[in-house]
């Protein structure tokens, strides 16, 4: 079986590619390398002992995408990650975000619908905004997006749902990720941010490594037990497994008609200060941090109700947050050694 992974050299895509290769699946990775690095291919190959087919291309480029599907007529499923993901950047460059994130999706849907092959979309818990209810179930009403990035996820979901209505034999799963953290157990692949990291865990590990002077905790007087924001941090290995299980679910379904949405998280809410404490306990390293002003647009608390994916797909997170944070630290150290 051959599966196409777009953005397959990115953080989550590379872990999914690795897992599929380890399951004996032929993987075609496409990536434009704008926010990823070609060395990730070596990491994947070194873990799995086999290299995926790799093509550097832009998923929004119609000619290149048509050529890709002509070259690989036996692609049996698509997992689509290729997209820009910086909230702040999307606010200053909205058109670039809408063009890239929605143009690419359009191309992939066209081919997936033509071939009637399963399609998995990487969405985000950002579509819920600040939910009235916790934990957040998939039935929770969606909030207006607070950034063009968030809007591309919301509109992307809507486009896919419209396609499902128009093409009843098209089957797709939208995965709404909570906060992915950690790295592959081998520390050969992990999060490899280009520039200053925006997300908590890569910023934290770079601070401990001495690359950043101090970690700013954004907001300490929120209405939460310790005043800091609460999130649902999910190990990237668990998240990768959720994609493989979702793909198998779609491939094995008798009745292919399906357009389902699933949360992917652990179900546990953890505050920023709790996460710092867990990191220190798990690694024995001290984190230099200071309480700081809130970050504009931050959600106060978000954690998932994961009962739907467990019930319907049979997926459940297996790793602890301590294991995820240890792996993030192991990766940070490995990365540093490689660059020295």
Both tokens of 255, joined, read 């009745």
CA angle 296, 82, 25 (to 5 degrees): 135
Residue 156: phi, psi to the nearest 5?
-55, -45
Q: Which of 330, 135, 132 is nearest to 232 (CA)?
A: 135
Q: Is 134 one of the binding residues for ligand UD1 (CB under 6 A)? A: no
In contact, 90 and 84? CB cutoff 8 Å: yes
Instruction: Pick between residue 229 and residue 247 the one whose CB is nearest to ligand UD1.
Output: 229
Per-residue binding string, ligand UD1, 16-55, x by CB under 6 A, is ----------------------------------------
Q: Is 209 one of the binding residues for ligand UD1 (CB under 6 A)? A: no
Stretch that binds ligand UD1, among 97-105, 162-170, 255-263, 292-300 (CB under 6 A): 292-300
Instruction: Pick between residue 154 and residue 184 the one whose CB is nearest to ligand UD1.
Output: 154
Q: Positive or negative, the Cα torsion across 150, 13, 236, 274? A: negative
Q: Is 277 one of the binding residues for ligand UD1 (CB under 6 A)? A: no
Q: Is 82 one of the binding residues for ligand UD1 (CB under 6 A)? A: no
Residue from 298, 310, 323, 333 binding ligand UD1 (CB under 6 A): 298
Both tokens of 37, joined, read 């690095």
In contact, 4 and 77? CB cutoff 8 Å: yes
Residue from 44, 59, 120, 217 binding ligand UD1 (CB under 6 A): 217
Neighbours of 190 (CB within 10 A): 25
Smallest gap from residue 89 Cβ to ligand UD1 (A) = 10
Number of chain positions touching ligand UD1 (CB under 6 A): 20
In contact, 184 and 190? CB cutoff 8 Å: yes
Stretch that binds ligand UD1, among 127-135, 155-163, 192-200, 319-327 (CB under 6 A): 192-200
- Catalytic-role residue among 11, 97, 149, 233: 149
Neighbours of 127 (CB within 10 A): 20
> How far is residue 333's CA from residue 49's CA, in Å, rounded to a whole number?
23
Q: Is 87 one of the binding residues for ligand UD1 (CB under 6 A)? A: yes
Instruction: Pick between residue 114 and residue 196 the one whose CB is nearest to ligand UD1.
Output: 196
CA 254 vs. chain centroid, Å, equals 28
11 catalytic? Reply is: no
DSSP 211: S
Active site residues: 149
Site residues, ligand UD1 (CB under 6 A): 85, 87, 124, 126, 150, 179, 198-200, 203, 215-218, 229, 231, 272, 295, 297-298
């Amino acid at each position: 079986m051959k599966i196409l992974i777009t953005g397959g050299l990115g953080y989550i895509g590379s872990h999914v590619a690795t897992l599929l290769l380890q399951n004996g699946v032929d993987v075609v990775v496409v990536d434009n390398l704008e926010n990823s690095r070609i060395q990730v291919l070596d990491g994947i190959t070194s873990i799995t002992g086999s290299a995926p087919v790799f093509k550097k291309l832009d998923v929004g480029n119609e000619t290149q995408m048509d050529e890709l599907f002509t070259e690989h007529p036996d692609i049996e499923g698509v997992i689509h990650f290729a997209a820009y993901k910086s909230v702040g950047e999307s606010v200053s460059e909205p058109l670039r975000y809408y063009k890239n994130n929605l143009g690419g999706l359009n191309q992939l849907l066209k081919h997936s619908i033509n071939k009637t092959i399963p399609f998995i979309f990487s969405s985000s818990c950002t579509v819920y905004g600040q939910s009235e209810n916790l934990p957040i179930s998939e039935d929770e009403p969606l909030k207006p997006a607070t950034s063009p990035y968030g809007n591309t996820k919301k509109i992307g979901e809507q486009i896919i749902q419209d396609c499902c209505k128009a093409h009843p034999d098209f089957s797709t799963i939208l995965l709404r990720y909570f906060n992915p953290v950690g790295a592959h157990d081998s520390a050969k692949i992990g999060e490899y941010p280009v520039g200053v990291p925006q997300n908590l865990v890569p910023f934290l590990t770079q601070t401990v490594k001495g690359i950043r002077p101090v970690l700013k905790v954004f907001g300490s007087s929120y209405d939460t037990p310790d005043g800091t924001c609460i999130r649902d941090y999910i190990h990237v290995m668990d998240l990768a497994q959720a994609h493989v299980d979702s793909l198998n679910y779609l491939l094995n379904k008798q009745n292919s008609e399906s357009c389902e949405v699933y949360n992917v998280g652990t179900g546990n809410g953890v505050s920023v200060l709790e996460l710092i404490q867990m990191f220190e306990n798990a690694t024995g390293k001290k984190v230099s941090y200071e309480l700081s002003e809130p970050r504009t647009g931050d959600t106060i608390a978000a954690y998932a109700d994961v009962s739907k994916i467990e019930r319907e797909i049979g997926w459940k997170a297996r790793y602890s947050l301590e294991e995820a944070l240890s792996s993030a630290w192991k990766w940070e150290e490995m990365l540093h050694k490689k660059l020295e």
